[in-house]
């Protein structure tokens, strides 16, 4: 975000066609990391979350996803870590015109005492003042070495720094948008919207927080020796950074803290991206809000997303109601508050003021329903409020298996391509390949499958799945065996309001359908997932 920001254009989300609900089982125990013994057939814990009687469609890729819904007063969420670099005391001492004090609504002594956590988030201000975080270059590559990644993935961009913001060109044909957002100076190889001619009303450097997580996943091994790719996978914290004090709650089922949602994402093939399977929700098409049902015509929030009950562990739907507004509304005397607009050119000044007067971004109901400051502001602002009422606080884990074919690396190597405005970590065969931790502007990350194959990724001694079927026939001098099956996991944390972007592009060869058999190590027979 920029200092002279912002007649800031703000997100107005549209419909996300997903299912949602929740479940409160405790997290599984018995995780182990490092090399495991040879596998046998997967247990029920590895069953895919596929829709009943789903028809296999080569033009779609189904991904199994678990989303955990959080409230905005969670200690690791909605901390305004970027603004707190220069406005910590302003936030802590802020009193609105109607007498609402931020100290009484989540920006209290505990929040103030956690300044060390806030200040270790990589962003424009912390990077400029203390060198915190890492910048991303115009080629989508980090501008400093990331030791959390394998050596063959530690490329460094020569720069300049990638910038993202509000494009100068106005639009009227794109769903009524007056403004849109994109990269100012991204090279053509970088996914995402690019501003025509590199012209922006404002643009800020893309900075993220590397090194937050352990580069190896941990897998629960079932009684029959099988690593559980669905319920039994765990990501662990490596360093205390960027408001991750309670990181162990982010991707685990914790009753009274989060609510679980099982989903299946459908990725259609895109002719605009070489028939890659693409899932893309960004500021310009409504944003990424998988827990909300939104009217696609007037963009108003309708209800919490309905759920496919048959794939929920408890057989029913239960999520927190939306507790945020998709506007930039910092809890202090913000100099541009009176001139704020959303992407449709609508003033959001009163909506923001009403939100703060009702308690602000962290004022929620402990039961997750009824009163929240965002809901009160929505009621006072009618249609405008409903156009911005959204569920922002959630984490997501996704999984799929894929087959590596050397013939698919010509004429161009296959890539895994992601963009996220929230924390994003991508693992292949349990080893980190994309590290975009922290709350930040939409940040791109990608990795070529050929690079992983040639470097025998995930199959070195000591790596989590090195003893399993993905590494059958693999060797350091020859790399992955042609036709071998590998495992993709991605982890996302959506912990800030105002922006929620997420996209992924997966190769057209990713035709693995949950429920199909896959090869296991040793002499075991093929087994259905």
Q: For 168-211, write each residue's pLDDT tens digit.
A: 987 765 567 888 999 999 999 999 999 999 999 999 999 999 99
28 lies in some domain: no
Closest by alpha carbon to 425, among 201, 291, 242, 276?
242
> Would you say 148 and 211 are in contact if contact means Cβ atoms under 8 Å apart?
yes
What are the structure tokens assigned to 431, written together? Answer: 């080893």
29 lies in some domain: no
Full residue range of the structural domain in which residue 461 is found: 60-325+332-388+397-528
Helices of type H across 279-402: 349-357, 373-388
Tally the domains of the chain. 1
191 lies in some domain: yes
24 lies in some domain: no
Q: What is the full DSSP assignment across 189-249?
A: TS-S-B-GGG-EEEEEE-EE----B-SB-EEEBPTTS-B-SSTTEE--B-S--SS-TTGGG
d(CA 111, CA 120): 14
pLDDT attached to residue 203 = 97
Is 434 a residue whose pLDDT tops 50? Answer: yes
Reported as a single tens digit per residue, the pLDDT across 489-514 is 999 999 999 899 999 999 999 975 44
44 lies in some domain: no
35 lies in some domain: no
208 lies in some domain: yes
455 lies in some domain: yes
pLDDT attached to residue 522 = 43
Give the number of other CB atoms < 10 A from CB of residue 52.
Answer: 7
Is 22 a residue whose pLDDT tops 50? Answer: no
> Would you say 220 and 228 are in contact if contact means Cβ atoms under 8 Å apart?
yes
Residue 528: phi and psi, rounded to 5, are: -75, 135
> Would you say 305 and 290 are in contact if contact means Cβ atoms under 8 Å apart?
yes
What are the structure tokens assigned to 364, written together? Answer: 């929620």
């Amino acid at each position: 975000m920029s200092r002279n920001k912002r007649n800031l254009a703000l997100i107005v989300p549209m419909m996300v066609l997903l299912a949602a609900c929740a479940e409160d089982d405790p997290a599984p125990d018995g995780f182990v990391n490092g090399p495991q013994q040879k596998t046998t057939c997967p247990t029920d814990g590895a069953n895919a979350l596929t829709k009943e009687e789903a028809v296999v469609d080569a033009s779609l890729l189904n991904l199994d996803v678990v989303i955990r819904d959080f409230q905005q007063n969670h200690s690791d969420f909605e901390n305004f870590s970027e603004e707190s670099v220069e406005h910590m005391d302003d936030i802590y001492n802020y009193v609105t015109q109607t007498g609402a004090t931020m100290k009484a609504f989540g920006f209290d002594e505990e929040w103030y005492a956690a300044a060390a956590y806030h200040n270790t988030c990589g962003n424009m201000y912390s990077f400029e003042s203390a060198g915190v975080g890492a910048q991303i270059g115009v080629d989508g590559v980090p501008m400093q070495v990331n030791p959390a990644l394998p050596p063959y993935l530690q490329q460094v961009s020569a720069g300049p720094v990638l910038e993202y913001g509000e494009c100068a060109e106005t639009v009227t044909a794109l769903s009524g948008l007056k403004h849109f957002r994109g990269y100012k100076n991204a090279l053509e190889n970088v996914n995402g919207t690019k501003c025509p001619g590199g012209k922006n009303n404002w643009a800020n450097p893309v900075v993220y927080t590397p090194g937050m997580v352990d580069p190896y996943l941990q897998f629960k091994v079932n009684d029959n020796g099988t690593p559980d790719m669905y319920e039994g996978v765990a990501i662990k914290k490596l360093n205390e950074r960027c408001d991750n004090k309670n990181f162990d709650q982010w991707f685990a089922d914790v009753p009274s803290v989060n609510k679980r949602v099982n989903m299946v994402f459908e990725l259609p093939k895109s002719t605009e991206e070489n028939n890659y399977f693409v899932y893309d929700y960004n500021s310009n098409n409504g944003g990424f809000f998988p827990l909300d049902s939104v009217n696609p015509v007037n963009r108003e929030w309708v209800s919490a997303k309905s759920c496919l009950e048959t794939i929920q562990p408890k057989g029913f739907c239960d999520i927190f109601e939306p507790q945020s507004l998709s506007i930039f509304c910092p809890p202090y005397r913000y100099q541009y508050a009176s001139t704020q607009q959303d992407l449709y050119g609508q003033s959001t000044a009163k909506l923001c003021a009403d939100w703060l007067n009702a308690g602000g971004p962290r004022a929620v109901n402990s039961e997750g329903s009824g009163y929240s400051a965002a809901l009160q502001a929505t009621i006072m602002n009618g249609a405008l409020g409903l156009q911005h009422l959204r569920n922002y606080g959630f984490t997501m884990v996704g999984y799929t298996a894929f087959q590596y074919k050397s013939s698919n690396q010509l004429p161009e190597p296959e890539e895994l391509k992601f963009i996220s405005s929230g924390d994003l970590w991508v693992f292949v065969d349990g080893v980190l390949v994309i590290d975009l931790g922290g709350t930040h502007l939409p940040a791109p990350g990608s990795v070529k499958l050929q690079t992983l194959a040639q470097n025998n990724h995930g199959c070195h001694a000591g790596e989590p799945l090195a003893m399993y079927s993905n590494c059958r026939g693999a060797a350091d001098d020859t790399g992955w065996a042609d036709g071998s099956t590998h495992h993709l996991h991605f982890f996302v944390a959506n912990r800030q309001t105002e922006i929620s972007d997420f996209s992924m592009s997966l190769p057209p060869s990713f035709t693995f359908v949950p429920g199909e058999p896959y090869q296991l190590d040793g002499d075991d027979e093929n087994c259905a997932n």
